[in-house]
């Protein structure tokens, strides 16, 4: 297992480079003020099993929306695995849907890393999409599960 984790780390570093930001934007239409993953400042993020992490996003949508779905796709060795995402409206701190353009929201999603997960490198795509399929937030970030 550890044997092929090393080339993956090299690959992830090659793709993401050495950068100050944790994620690559993949088409956010909202203004993104902040994106954090618990205990991670520099990609790739190393996450330990079992633990609970949070994905926190502060953003200002550029259009109104009545709903907000969290769409998560985990890419492992080039294959995409859709992951069930929580309802985004219920994760807005001190706020709720509908979303108003120009209003600043804080979204906080728990990201449990379960004991039974395999120890692998994953590229995670985390998207917030509304009822019109408009993507308000989209980030790609690499994690290494240990
Ligand atoms: C993310 O949000 C949760 C819930 O509000 C909070 O407990 C946690 O400290 C936040 N993490 C970061 C890195 O801001």
Q: Give per-residue pLDDT as tens, 88-141.
A: 999 999 999 999 999 999 999 999 999 999 999 999 999 999 999 999 999 999
* pLDDT greater at residue 12 or residue 103: 103
Of all atoms in ligand 1, which is nearest to the CA of residue 37?
Answer: 13
Tell me the pLDDT tens digit for each residue of 31-82: 999 999 999 988 899 999 999 999 999 999 999 999 999 999 999 999 999 9
Q: What is the pTM of this model?
A: 0.86
User: Does residue 18 surpass a pLDDT of 90?
Assistant: no
| Contacts (Cβ under 8 Å, ≥6 apart) of 89 | 67, 68, 96, 97
Q: Cα(12)–Cα(69) distance, rounded to whole angstroms?
A: 27
Nearest CA, atom 4, ligand 1: 108
pLDDT score for 9: 56
For ligand 1, what atom is nearest to the CA of residue 54? 1
Q: List the CATH number of the domain containing 139.
A: 2.60.40.770
Region for 89 from its dihedrals, namely left if φ exceeds 0, alpha if ψ lies in -120 to 50, beta otherwise:
alpha
Ligand 1 surroundings by CB, under 6 angstroms: 36, 38, 54, 56, 93, 108
Dist CA 43 CA 88 (whole Å): 24
Q: Is the pLDDT of residue 12 over 90?
A: no
| Domain, as residue range, for 73 | 5-145
What's the mean pLDDT in 10-36? 79
Which position has the higher pLDDT, 138 or 11?
138
User: How many domains in the chain?
Assistant: 1
């Amino acid at each position: 297992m550890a044997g092929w984790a090393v080339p993956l780390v090299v690959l992830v570093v090659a793709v993401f480079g050495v950068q100050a930001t944790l994620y690559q934007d993949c088409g956010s239409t909202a203004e993104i003020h902040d994106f954090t993953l618990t205990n991670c400042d520099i990609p790739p993020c190393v996450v330990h099993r079992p633990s609970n992490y949070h994905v926190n996003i502060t953003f200002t949508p550029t259009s109104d929306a009545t709903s907000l779905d969290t769409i998560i796709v985990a890419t492992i060795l080039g294959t995409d695995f859709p992951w069930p995402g929580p309802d985004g409206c219920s994760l807005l701190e001190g706020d709720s849907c509908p979303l108003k353009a120009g209003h600043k929201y804080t979204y906080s999603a728990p990201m449990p890393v379960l004991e039974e997960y395999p120890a692998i490198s994953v590229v995670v795509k985390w998207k917030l999409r509304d009822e019109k399929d408009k993507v308000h937030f989209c980030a790609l970030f690499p994690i290494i599960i240990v």
